Structure formats: C-alpha cells, structure tokens
Amino acid sequence: MIRDAFDAVRVRKNFPALNQKIYGKPLVYLDNAATTQKPKSVIDALEQYYSSENANIHRGIYYLSQQATNAYEGVRARVRQFLNARSSEEIIFVRGATEGINLVAQSYGRTYVKEGDEIVVSVMEHHSNIVPWQMLCDEAGARLRVIPINDEGEILTGEYENLLNERTKLVSIAHVSNVIGTLNPVKEMVEKAHGRGIPVLVDGAQAVPHLKVDVQDLDCDFLVFSGHKMFGPTGVGVLYGKSELLEKMPPYQGGGDMISSVTFEKTVYNKIPYKFEAGTPHIAGVIGLGRAIDYLNEIGMEEIAAYEEELLRVATEALGRVPGLRLIGTARKKSAIVSFVLKEVHPHDIGTILDRQGVAIRAGHHCAMPLMQRFGVPATARASFAFYNTKEDVDALCRALGKVREVFK
C-alpha cells in the first residue's frame, strides 16, 4: 500500500528548520496553521532566482527578463493545474489569502453590494474573512449575516439555507477552520447558494495545503490561499476567480502592468489576470510558490491528506487521555488542527511551558474572536499538524502537557 510507504521521517530531512534544538530540546513544530516550514527546494529556488535570474517581468526585451517572465507565468499554469481551474487567466497572484479577500470585497463587493444587501459568513471565520466584509458593509449600508454552528463546531446547514435570500449578494466561507479544523461542506453550500444565483468565495488558506482542492468540482466562484501556509514563501498567495466574474470586475489597484494604454484622458485596462496585478509582483515569491507546489505534487495531496488524517486520529486519542483537557471543536469531518483548553490553566501559560520543552504551539484567539465567544473561552491552545509531523511529535506534545500539570499541581 502506498499509504504505508509515506515516510514522514524521511520527508522531514527536506526541511532544514525542523532540524534544530530549542532550549536544548528537539524542535516539535505544531504551528502549521499559522505558517509552515519550507523545504530546501523552495529555499534554493529563492536563492537561485536572486543569484542568477533576477529581472523584472513582462516588460524586458532581454534574455533575463524573458526567463523571469517565463518562470512567473509558468507558476500561474502550475497553480491552474493544482487547483484544476479551467484557465490560467483565472489565477491572480496576490500577497496572501487576506489580500485575495480584500480584492474581492473592494472590487466585486463595491460594484455589486448595495444598501440593504447582505453578505453571509460563518461564526468560525478568521478575522480576514470578517473584517473586509464589515468594511464593505459599513460603506455600502449592507448587512453581515452569520451562519451559526453546533457545539461540535459544525455549520448548521439548515440555518445557512434560511439565511440565503434575494438580498444575499455573496457567501464567504472557510473551507477548513483555522482554529478547530472543521472541514466545511463547501461543495453543498456552493450548490445551495447557486440555486439562488449567489456567488461563493471559499477561504482555502487551511485547505489547499492539506487536501486536494478542485475548484471546478467545488464550483466556487472565488477561492483564496496563502503561499506561506503551504510550504512556500511569505508575501505571496493566490486568488482564483471564475473568468466571467473577473472580466466584469473593476481593477483593485491602479499602476503599471495592469493597463493596456494610458493617456491623461483615458486608461484602458489590461485583460485578466493582469488587470488585478498592478506593480511589480513578488516574483521570487511566486517562483518559490511554484517550487512548493512541485514538492506537494511529488508527495501527492491524497497521500498527504490520508497521512494527516491518521495523525489527527492519533493526536485526538492521545489528547483525550490528558487529565483535565477539553477539546474545542469535535466535528466529524476535520483537518489536523486540534484546539484545546486545560482545566485551571490559561492557554498562554500552556504555550510558555510547552515552548520550554521545544514544543511550538499557538495560544490565543487565533484571529477568530467571535468563535472564542461562541465556545465561551477567552483563548485556546492549538496544535496544528503538517505531513512532516510524526506520532513522536504527538507523544512529545503529551509529555510537555504533563509538565504543565506538574507546574500547576
């Protein structure tokens, strides 16, 4: 079986940052929902680009510029393939998922959302999928509607359907929750919204690095993700949009590269995707992202998803045996993100004590304060896994939690 052949220990060797000690203890990196470590091939790609390939794209008539343009556009084609989009023109490079959402809010939203209209999000959204819509609503006089969840952290689909009406202009929903790992039924949600002619944006920041995401299968209208959460560089991400929507949307920012011609009387905008890529982009970042996608393709997203599912099972069982520990978010369908609280110990103290054992987790509200309020906790501790984590990492986490108990005895 191929699944058994997956060798996390071997894969770890590709990630230089994982091979270090923190306070004399081997690093156990469990903050992958915040950002992931980078394989050597991605680091090398950045160095190689700046050492011997650096030139600006799309404008140069010399060799280096053409090479850089080819490399940059080559990644666009690979992202298309990775997401199974119909066309490369539907792939827009942005700074990250946050900028992708802001682009849609400012361009699509300001054009089509009017006074009295509604935008639907869920209670488990990251602030980046709340605040851009609030800003839009404030400006347009529109209203943000919130899909509730059950105590396990699952979308209440009946409530969702009830929220959709003739005033709804957009649904924007996380594919996977960054706090509790819930895998939302986005395909079904898209279908329901489309039944009423409502477009859907999927925040894929926590999904694209961990499972096979097919935008044609989901039939979502927009999807965003960040490069740095999928083993690529920071400062680069992708907005996927259906071409028919992108065509009728106005530009997000003005500048070079996004125009066909400029006079002081009139500017003609470039075609998609360039219309949305004003200024010199993060060329090195895009090339690094391309290398990260190559790396993921070599392992295989199905392999990654299957291995992480097994890690989640092991982690959930092991944490369930820790005295006084309560899991926050126990959805039936989950990605490998585990949030928890410990009786009488604040997550911040858990984070500090774990850190001294070399175990890096996140403690806080995880940029999802409404979700904290929903579960009635000020903060949680969160361990989030990637394919380079092992069952030994789970053991180290549990041992470190034993230390917390010792300190707070």
**Rule CB under 8 A: which residues touch another protein?**
344-349, 352-353, 356, 363-365, 369, 372, 378-379, 403, 407-408
- Separation CA 65–CA 328 (nearest Å): 50
- Separation CA 309–CA 338 (nearest Å): 12
Minimum Å gap between C-beta 33 and another protein is: 17
Is residue 367 among the annotated active site residues? yes
- Does a cis peptide bond (omega within 30 degrees of 0) precede residue 185? no
Question: For strand 222-226 and strand 200-203, is the pairing parallel, antiparallel, or unpaired?
Answer: parallel
Minimum Å gap between C-beta 408 and another protein is: 6
Minimum Å gap between C-beta 61 and another protein is: 48
In the complex with another protein, the residue whose CB is nearer, 145 or 365, is: 365
In the complex with another protein, the residue whose CB is nearer, 6 or 408, is: 408
Minimum Å gap between C-beta 334 and another protein is: 24
Count of CA atoms in the C-beta half-sphere (13 A) of 304: 22
Question: Which SS3 state, helix, strand or coil, does residue 157 take?
Answer: helix
Minimum Å gap between C-beta 346 and another protein is: 4
In the complex with another protein, the residue whose CB is nearer, 250 or 378, is: 378
Q: Count other C-beta atoms under 10 Å from residue 141's C-beta.
A: 11
**CB-based contact 184:122 (threshold 8 Å):** yes
Which is nearest to 375 in space by CA: 362, 388, 366, 386?
366
In the complex with another protein, the residue whose CB is nearer, 156 or 367, is: 367
In the complex with another protein, the residue whose CB is nearer, 372 or 394, is: 372
Nearest-10 Cα torsion for 195, 200, 206, 207: 50
User: Which residue out of 137, 220, 367, 398 is catalytically annotated?
Assistant: 367
Which is nearest to 197 in space by CA: 236, 233, 234, 170?
170
Angle at 347 between CA 343 and CA 351, to 5 degrees: 125
Catalytic residue annotation: 367
